Amino acid sequence: MSQELAGKVAIVTGGASGLGRATVELFVKEGARVVIADVNAQLGEKLAAELGPSTRFRLTDVASAEEVQVLVDLAVAEFGALNVMFNNAGVSGATHAHYVDDELKDFQHVMGVNVLGVMLGTQRASRHMAKHGGGSIINTSSIAGYQAGLGLMTYRASKAAVIHFTRCAAIDLAVHGVRVNCIAPGNIRTTMSRFGASMSEDTAHRLDQAMDEIRMAAQPLKRQGKPEDVAHAALYLASDRSAQVTGMLLPVDGGITAGDPVNHLQAILRARADLLGR
């Protein structure tokens, strides 16, 4: 490893699994000391034990201002600084194919974690960074917040809010040398993105395969995304390589948001040729 983050201290919320875990592991390999924040104490403590003295774990509800402040204070107390804040914790909420079927029962919870959590993390981290030479704040959104679509309306709305907040915060905090950027993952297989969590492993695996075919149809780059892909995007935004980058939305989506991968012109020309008999 190139030790891109040597000497830096980072917080990763939602760091016990999925995208967060992959990022914590990469940050540590790159020389950072990392505080892992999550609501899953078992996974968080296990990961911190595996990675050793460069990490700490803190049970944290990111929708609580008090707990987020304790998290920031812990990073500074344990490691002496806070250079990178990765506001990655998120929840998807209930799944409804159509909005008319959604009772919005989980609205407050989804907005609390996905939007308020990002805003609190950004605010409390930037208060420290502003007094200590700046830093990098990274927020996790989703292509669902960038590209319109069906279903998951509360989730989509929350992730769209993260994108706009990121850009506004980037302008507001630039005077303090604090950069604020946003990652929008696409088709990345994690526990949260699976629809077969309550099924047997064999059934869930077959469902994953069926879903991959559906998702790949809309993805120009025919490659399954991995949590490590998001981790490497976060590494770029956390490192000094992105010193001139703020207010950016970085999709990690295999080209889904670039446009429709179906060659409609080719299909139209083929239909015309069939109609004309040539």
CA distance 94 to 37: 23
Q: What token pair was written down for 75?
A: 């990073």
Instruction: Please indicate, yes or no, if residue 76 is contained in any of the structural domains.
Output: yes
- According to DSSP, the residues that pair with 249 across neighbouring strands are 182
DSSP conformational letter for 113: I
99 catalytic? Reply is no
Instruction: Please indicate, yes or no, if residue 228 is contained in any of the structural domains.
Output: yes
pLDDT band at 166 (very low <50, low <70, confident <90, very high): very high
CA distance 64 to 257: 33
DSSP conformational letter for 146: T
Asked if the model's pLDDT at residue 50 lies above 70, the reply is: yes
Instruction: Give pLDDT tens digits for 224-251.
Output: 999 999 999 999 999 999 999 999 999 9
Instruction: Give pLDDT tens digits for 116-129.
Output: 999 999 999 999 99
Instruction: Please indicate, yes or no, if residue 210 is contained in any of the structural domains.
Output: yes
- Confirm if 25 and 86 have CB atoms less than 8 A apart: no
Q: What token pair was written down for 277?
A: 């008999």
Cα dihedral 127, 8, 185, 15 sign: negative
Asked if the model's pLDDT at residue 33 lies above 80, the reply is: yes
Asked if the model's pLDDT at residue 201 lies above 80, the reply is: no
pLDDT band at 110 (very low <50, low <70, confident <90, very high): very high
Domain extent at residue 259: 9-276
Global pTM reads: 0.91
Least confident of 158-162, 258-262, 263-267: 263-267
CA distance 145 to 157: 6
Instruction: Please indicate, yes or no, if residue 3 is contained in any of the structural domains.
Output: no
In CATH, what number is assigned to the domain containing residue 63? 3.40.50.720
Domain count, the chain: 1
pLDDT band at 5 (very low <50, low <70, confident <90, very high): very high
Number of Cα atoms under 13 Å in the Cβ half of residue 36: 34
Instruction: Please indicate, yes or no, if residue 159 is contained in any of the structural domains.
Output: yes
Q: What token pair was written down for 7?
A: 């000497």
Output the average pLDDT for the chain: 92
Q: What is the pLDDT of residue 97?
A: 79
Least confident of 33-42, 119-128, 207-216: 207-216
- Confirm if 85 and 138 have CB atoms less than 8 A apart: yes
pLDDT band at 68 (very low <50, low <70, confident <90, very high): very high
Instruction: Please indicate, yes or no, if residue 2 is contained in any of the structural domains.
Output: no
Instruction: Please indicate, yes or no, if residue 164 is contained in any of the structural domains.
Output: yes
Contacts with 276 (C-beta within 8 Å, 6 or more apart), sequence order:
none
Q: Residue 172 carries which side chain, given as an amino acid letter?
A: D
Q: What angle do CA 87, 88, 91 make, to 5 degrees?
A: 125
Q: What is the pLDDT of residue 190?
A: 76
Instruction: Please indicate, yes or no, if residue 185 is contained in any of the structural domains.
Output: yes
* Options 99, 146, 155, 236, the catalytic residue: 155
Q: What is the pLDDT of residue 193?
A: 55
Q: What is the dihedral of CA 152, 226, 13, 50, to 10 degrees?
A: 140
